[in-house]
């Protein structure tokens, strides 16, 4: 497969002054890998000092672990995070599937960031009803609570995935519908702004291929690869959080933000992690619901998408949602696919080393 120059990586971290100043923030599904980094970045106060942060999830063990991790005696550089955590953060046990829980949780929030999801592709294939209940039912509960009951919600952020673009699996299908539920809610709920972010594989999470490769290499192999031509978008957790911050700071009603990030052949990722070890690579075929290549913007979406700074923006497909004139924007000419802008092996090695996810770094992968 030919190697093309990769899309430039946006700088991280970024700062959008005061977007969280005095705000009350609800993070659903907030004990996952994204939620942890999102919370830590907000607690620095570099984007404004919130009045309150609620972390809602249904896993009490993860909440306890997260609480302990933030309450460890801080190094000097994290004293602000430590102090703000004690003053601002409250954990809530609850499930986005339960409307009464969501109704109570959003009642005092100004900003709602929905990171709750079933996101393992094979799991969703075997249990599609569960994926529908969380990814679609949860979105319906949030939009209904914001729309139909008294609250102060100003902004709702939908955290989505590249698998929602031209979906071929249950996870992607449910996330695609989730996007539409949130973004179309602006038609019936004028008091809140509904925006979305969509991105690919996060390097430090268990949703990526890295923890599987790490474990296989430690066991002596083989390293299993679905197909020699498989490509994926790769980004750091900070880049994922940057995308949320940019969307909250700049996003207009109904818009979806897409980070301009690198992509790579999965065989290159495996080769860099294996290094000089004598470990076999084995092609095992595609898993249920898996794609050979991912896309962040489809060909149909490209015709109404454009670049804004370090991001691509997809305006709502429903023209009544926004009064904005996009006619002057330079539209994309083709879909944004993981096969089009591949890093070579040197680029993949730099990306993995910069994000400290090589075997030698012995990283911890969060759910």
Nearest-angstrom CA–CA distance, 52 and 26? 8
**Does residue 13 have a cis bond before it (omega within 30 degrees)?**
yes
Q: Under 8 Å CB-to-CB from 81, ≥6 apart: which residues?
A: 40, 43, 44, 70, 74
Nearest-angstrom CA–CA distance, 20 and 31? 20
Task: Provide the 10 A C-beta neighbour count for residue 322.
Answer: 15
Report in angstroms the alpha-carbon separations of 269 from 93, 233, 234, 353.
Answer: 37, 12, 10, 11
Q: What is the DSSP string of 220-239?
A: T-PEEES-TT-EEEEE-HHH
The pair of structure tokens assigned to 91 is: 């954990």
Beta bridge partners of 197: 159, 257
Q: What angle do CA 292, 297, 300 make, to 5 degrees?
A: 105
Question: From the candidates 23, 62, 163, 339, which is the catalytic residue?
Answer: 163
Instruction: Report helix, strand or coil for 337.
Output: strand
Helix pair angle (79-88, 60-70), 10° resolution: 140
User: Which residue has 């038609």 as its token pair?
Assistant: 187
The verdict on whether 163 is a catalytic residue reads: yes
Cα of 227 vs its chain's centroid, Å = 25
- Residues with catalytic annotation? 163
């Amino acid at each position: 497969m030919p190697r093309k120059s990769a899309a430039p990586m946006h700088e991280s971290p970024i700062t959008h002054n005061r977007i969280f100043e005095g705000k009350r923030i609800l993070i659903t599904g907030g004990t996952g890998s994204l939620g942890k980094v999102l919370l830590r970045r907000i607690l620095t106060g570099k984007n404004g000092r919130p009045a309150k942060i609620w972390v809602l999830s249904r896993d009490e063990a993860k909440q306890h672990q997260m609480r302990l991790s933030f309450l460890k005696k801080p190094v000097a550089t994290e004293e602000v995070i430590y102090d703000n955590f004690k003053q601002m953060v409250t954990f809530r046990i609850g499930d986005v599937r339960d409307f009464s829980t969501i109704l109570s949780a959003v009642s005092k929030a100004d900003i709602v960031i929905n990171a709750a999801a079933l996101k393992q592709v094979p799991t969703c294939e075997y249990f599609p009803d569960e994926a529908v209940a969380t990814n679609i039912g949860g979105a319906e509960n949030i939009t209904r609570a914001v729309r139909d009951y008294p609250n102060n919600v100003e902004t709702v952020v939908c955290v989505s995935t590249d698998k929602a673009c031209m979906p071929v699996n249950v996870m992607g299908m449910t996330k695609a519908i989730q996007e539409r539920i949130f973004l179309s809610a602006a038609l019936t709920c004028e008091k809140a702004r509904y925006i979305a972010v969509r991105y690919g594989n996060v390097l430090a999470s268990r949703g990526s291929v890295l923890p599987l490769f790490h474990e296989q290499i430690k066991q002596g192999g083989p390293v299993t690869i679905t197909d020699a031509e498989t490509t994926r978008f790769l980004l750091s957790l900070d880049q994922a959080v940057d995308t949320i911050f940019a969307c909250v700071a700049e996003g207009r009603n109904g818009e979806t933000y897409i980070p301009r990030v690198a992509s790579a052949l999965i065989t290159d990722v495996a080769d860099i992690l294996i290094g000089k070890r004598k470990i076999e690579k084995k092609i095992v075929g595609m898993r249920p619901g898996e794609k050979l290549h991912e896309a962040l913007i489809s060909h149909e979406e490209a015709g109404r998408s454009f670049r804004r700074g370090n991001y691509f923006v997809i305006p709502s497909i429903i023209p009544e949602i926004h009064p904005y004139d996009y006619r002057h924007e330079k539209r994309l000419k083709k879909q944004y696919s993981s096969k089009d802008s591949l890093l070579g092996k040197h680029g993949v090695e730099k990306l993995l080393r910069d994000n400290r996810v090589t075997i030698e770094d012995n990283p911890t992968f969060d759910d």
